[in-house]
Amino acid sequence: MTTEEVAQACDLSVSSAALAKEREFDEPFLILDTEKTATLLTAIERKGKRWTRGGRFYHILGKNDKASAVVALLDLYRHGGQVVRSIGIGDGLNDAAFLNIVDIPILIRTSWLHELQAAVPKGKPTKFPGPLGWSDAMLRLFG
């Protein structure tokens, strides 16, 4: 996708979309022909890669994921002798693994919230979707 296409698809400014395209650990993609979804996802797995589905996009991954990154970060803080209380915020099934690791998992309200709640039983849903939901969650935690 061009920077302009990413900006339009994600409701971002062109400069923010340019930053969003600078990825190191996954590659987002859309499946335009949904009849070929299973074939494409199987082909990704045959190549030794993994895939997940986020809020708007599918993602191709290597041997990395958000949960591994959260575990590594928490271990770094704990290794330094700090008591850590972790909060995670997510809105897609690709967030479920790391949300199940953190102490306070927050689920941003979306049309697939019920699926995410089933995957993250301790998750607390926000009252609102999107940035308003994020803001509301932060105010309830820290306000």
Q: State residue 4's pLDDT score.
A: 93
Q: For residue range 16-55, what is the model confidence (pLDDT) as tens digits?
A: 999 989 988 888 899 999 999 999 999 999 999 989 887 7
pLDDT category, 13, cuts 50, 70, 90?
A: very high
CA dist., res. 16 & res. 104, Å (int): 29
CA dist., res. 82 & res. 68, Å (int): 20
3-state SS record for the chain: CCHHHHHHHHCCCHHHHHHHCCCCCEEEECCCCHHHHHHHHHHHHHCCCEEEECCCCEEEECCCCHHHHHHHHHHHHHHCCCCCCCEEEECCHHHHHHHCCCCEEEEEECCCHHHHHHHCCCCEEEEEEHHHHHHHHHHHHHC
Domain 3-61 has CATH 3.30.980.20: yes
Q: For residue range 47-79, what is the model confidence (pLDDT) as tens digits?
A: 999 898 877 788 898 888 889 999 999 999 999
Pairing of strands 58-61, 26-29: antiparallel
| Whole-number percent of the chain with pLDDT over 90 | 64
Intervals of CATH 3.30.980.20 along the chain: 3-61
Q: State residue 64's pLDDT score.
A: 80
**Would you say the C-alpha torsion 100, 105, 110, 114 has a positive or negative sign?**
positive
CB 27 within 8 A of CB 59: yes
List the structure tokens of 69. 């990154």
